[in-house]
Amino acid sequence: MFAVAVHAGAGFHSPSKERSYKDVCMNACAAAARILNDPSVEFAALNAATAAISVLEDSPLTNAGFGSCLNFDGHVECDAGLMCGKSLLFTSVGSVSCVKNPIQIPKHLILQHLTGPVSPIGRVKPLSLCGDGARRWASEVAGIQILPDHCLISHAAKNRWRRYRGLVDERDRSVASSIDEISHFKKPRHGDKLDTVGAVCLDTSGNICAASSSGGIPLKLKGRLGQACVYGCGSWAEVTPAVSVGCVTSGTGEQLIKTQLAQRVASKILKRTDGSLPNIVNASFQEDFLDSRFLSNETTSKLGGIVGIGNTGDARDPLSSSVVEFFFKHSTESLAYGFYISNQMTKPLVAVSRKSRTLPTGSDYYAFTCK
């Protein structure tokens, strides 16, 4: 038995493009499932999560890899992170440019920790690399192709950037001297903000890996680091004998860093003594994000989402029964997601969850018992 959860961002997904978002989630689930289904693949959960993220990065619809939001200077700069539940290793890349699939860098970093030789002179292997150094390591050590910047810029991203830069330049040209005066400027459309993509994979050996990748927020400053590359914030995975969990976050990166949302939700699931998983996730999202004391001075809406898989019971023991639970919760307008569990579903379930006037957050939950 294996399971896959993916999401194409907690943000806003135009209803007119809903089919396309579902398709990319379907393809991401399928890419992970192909790997999880192959008994010859080593580090299956790790490779499957990376494969799912790569599909999401390659889509111009998502804010990761090709088609990412452009930074203030008009370039693509990406963050990505990856955590392995069995080894508890987290690796990441921050603010890297000219790499088609940023998630490949943390994958190679983590494999270097798991399989590379120990340094005879005691050099410590890095967990996180950023900027030009990350790009060089990707090329020289991991053999990842470096592309010209324009190869990662989509037509839509360029247009969004022109519109946003126009707003800033218009404001700078004005002589507005107070917030009141300049608050009349048209804000970017909510629908233009798309966030971090993510994937969680549970493999047949019982390992769970969680991965996220992001192009960051529109007009971000060059060198800005978002939650996808920060320990505990963009993804979390832990495997214990009785409970395993993997989760990934999406939304406003700075808020997800301040609240360390991935780790906090995972930690409460691992400590579960009673209470259903949806109740735990709902309570944690409310307490650790919406009502968090770390966000008490926020000047913008609290926009976040979490997607994850919990696995109770020993998945490595085929005679015991294992419960796989898939969950998500978001305070953003929408969340595009996909979910697949082998032996229970013939194809991935893909959908776009939307919050409504009566439901200030969107959430859902599926549970499967596998014997």
Q: Which residue numbers are catalytic?
A: 196
252 binds a second copy (CB under 8 A): yes
Question: Which of 87, 139, 204, 267: binder of a second copy (CB under 8 A)?
Answer: 87
CB 322 within 8 A of CB 27: no
What residues contact residue 316 under an 8 Å CB cut-off, 6+ apart? 205, 206
Distance CA(124)–CA(145), nearest Å, equals 25
Is the four-CA dihedral 156, 361, 325, 105 of positive or negative sign? positive
CB 248 within 8 A of CB 306: yes
233 binds a second copy (CB under 8 A): yes
| Per-residue DSSP letter, 290 | I
Cβ neighbours around 124 below 10 Å, total? 6
223 binds a second copy (CB under 8 A): yes
Q: How far is the CB of 116 from a second copy (least distance, A)?
A: 10
The amino acid at 168: V
293 binds a second copy (CB under 8 A): yes
Distance CA(221)–CA(348), nearest Å, equals 37
Residues in the chain: 371
x/- site string to a second copy, residues 150 to 169, per CB under 8 A? --------------x--xx-
124 binds a second copy (CB under 8 A): yes
Q: Which is nearer to a second copy, 13 or 264 (CB)?
A: 264
185 binds a second copy (CB under 8 A): yes
122 binds a second copy (CB under 8 A): yes
CB 91 within 8 A of CB 113: yes
Question: Which of 35, 130, 262, 265: binder of a second copy (CB under 8 A)?
Answer: 130
Q: Catalog residues that contact a second copy under the rule CB under 8 A.
A: 77, 87-90, 94-95, 117-118, 120-134, 136-137, 164, 167-168, 171, 176, 179, 182-183, 185-188, 217, 219-225, 230-233, 252-254, 257-258, 260, 293-294, 296-297, 299-300
